[in-house]
Structure 1
């Protein structure tokens, strides 16, 4: 359960999201109440609402009850991409990290309907989970699909993909693991590419300007909306050395 935030304490680093606490529908509330224990990791948040306390350690083998490739999606939204992937690949383990509870509740509803058992959810700030709670080099793939572009110049310092995130991502991925990214915001795509081209521990997993569209990413309404507005969808992939 999320604890109320202590207003006297603040994060050492800015977060890359806005906490959305919009009202959930009755069906979402019921899904959360009925199935939270089954899907949502019980994480001590410490002093912040979506933080990860320093002592938290998560063991994927213990969480899933098996040893299998681990795919982590940062900012899973309503879960479209990770639900599609977890259903298509029952031999893999999937962890969706999202701070928007209504989105997680929708993911639970669809997971229950689909009988998906290889998916877990975390209602936390993703970089903190990767850096504090998971052991180094345990993630096989890390997905960042359509993160908030923070379009206004004065807000761009809040963007997720920066040098510090690249450091955290490199530390969490296994050698040979893949960081996959996608955005419909051209300038952010260019920034991502610049950051990751310069990041220690990564090499490009594509040739030319952009990666081919990742065929494991289901086409969502959000992506279609961006394309309909004439925005080019840019994919990137980087391999951990």
Structure 2
């Protein structure tokens, strides 16, 4: 029979390794935490000019030798410029350019439908191949110095300005203004033109109106001012 002293000694000898293993685990965990903390606190690698200086001090910098006869390459860049709408449109030369300029100066949208109506209107007043006649494409009497729209302007830009002034300045043209302003269907604007006092003939209420495409023609030099 074993004595109590022997059992006590045996129990103590079995529990001693457990305490040693616990100490080993705790120490290992502390070491890992310390390494992680050191890594997190480590400064970031040097960059830029400071990095170059440090590499040079450590003898790790790379250099590139360029022969003395090598000339530097000239780099050319495209130039960009912007012009406002009036300057761009005023530099035009065709009946389409002038139709667009009238809409722009009058504050109307320069949509395709609006331009189409303006070109048809111009054709009804002057033929498409001499649309610039007397620098008054729409035979506008407003500011042209001639009755019944037979006056003339110094240039086509001035003529375009006066068309806008006439449309906004005469209440009889209110339906035309509303149609152009909303870029309404072409037939709506054209009916407003026929019904207005612009032409005493009222274009025979549209029976003299042509719907074929209007060809583009350039006006002679100097007509735009």
Larger Rg: 2
Instruction: Report which of the two has the higher share of strand.
Output: 1
Instruction: Report which of the two has the higher share of helix.
Output: 2
Q: What's the TM-score, normalizing by structure 1? A: 0.20
